[in-house]
Amino acid sequence: MNIQSILDYQALDLQKVKLNRELAKRDEYVQWQHAHEAMNQSVEKVAKMNTRAAQLFAKVDMLMEQFNAASKEFDEVAGEIDGLGEDLKRAEFYEKTLGKLESLMEQIEKEAAAAENELHALGKEGAAEINAANKNASLALSYKNKVNEIKAGMSGQIEQIGAKQKELEERIDPKLLNIYRNARKQIKHFPVIVALREGKLCGCGIELSGAELGKLKDGEPFVTCPTCGRLVYKPEQ
């Protein structure tokens, strides 16, 4: 089966790949990527801060409930002591209880103060990250517009390539075209279709097994490389 048309189709794809690589090297594109990534990082940080702040607010609410409960119990115990009279043993027990409650309330106050301090710090840090996110979002938009202008300048070349590919599609076996397109989606490296030279791939350089070579001799247009996944064809002699 003559596969020259699909090879020509791939060559046109390579032209588009080269155009995209050229675009990716442009300073406008690089700056857009950096600004966009920086914006995303700030947004992620703010989201984490919001989660932490929600946890701290919940903790403060819980500590306030604990403090109020301990304070109420303290007042009740203090009232009991006032009515004990000469019952020294019970008075001593209640005094110890009061001491424990005082220590508990002090600990709760310390934890609440620490939580409030962290909330304050988060507020300042969050405001800075929001400003950074807004700044980088503005930069990203500015560079994105420049990238779009560059793409618009390339559109003529891309349209020409696309038109040539449309013409080739009329001559390519649909089965081969589908095989190629599916491989393009799965294989990261380029080219997707490589030639077999002296039993070795013009891609990763491995030797095909006898079974795979037999398929090519029997008329299969392609076999798949077990190492790199490329489509291998045997050039016509």
pLDDT digits (tens, 9 = 90+) for 79-137: 776 665 555 677 788 788 889 999 999 999 999 999 999 999 999 999 999 999 999 99
- Give the separation between CA 23 and CA 29, rounded to whole angstroms: 7
Residue-level pLDDT at 33:
96
Q: What SS3 state is found at 196?
A: strand
- For 28, the token pair is 């406008």
Residue-level pLDDT at 77:
81
Residue-level pLDDT at 22:
94
| 175 within 8 A of 194, measured Cβ to Cβ | no
- What mean pLDDT is predicted for residues 66-78? 89
Lowest mean pLDDT among 48-52, 92-96, 142-146, 167-171: 92-96
- Give the separation between CA 201 and CA 203, rounded to whole angstroms: 5
Q: Has residue 65 got a pLDDT over 60? A: yes
- Give the separation between CA 157 and CA 17, rounded to whole angstroms: 12
- What mean pLDDT is predicted for residues 184-198? 84
Domains in the chain: ranges and CATH: 26-156 (1.10.287.620), 175-233 (no CATH)
Q: What is the pLDDT of residues 157-188, one digit of tens each?
A: 999 999 999 999 999 989 889 989 999 998 87
Mean pLDDT of the chain: 88
Q: Beta strand 200-201 with 193-197: parallel, antiparallel or unpaired?
A: antiparallel
- Give the separation between CA 114 and CA 56, rounded to whole angstroms: 10
Residue-level pLDDT at 82:
63
Residue-level pLDDT at 12:
96
Residue-level pLDDT at 128:
96
Encoded amino acid at 209, one letter: S
106-115 b/e (C-beta count within 10 Å ≥ 16 → b): eebeebbeeb
Residue-level pLDDT at 157:
94
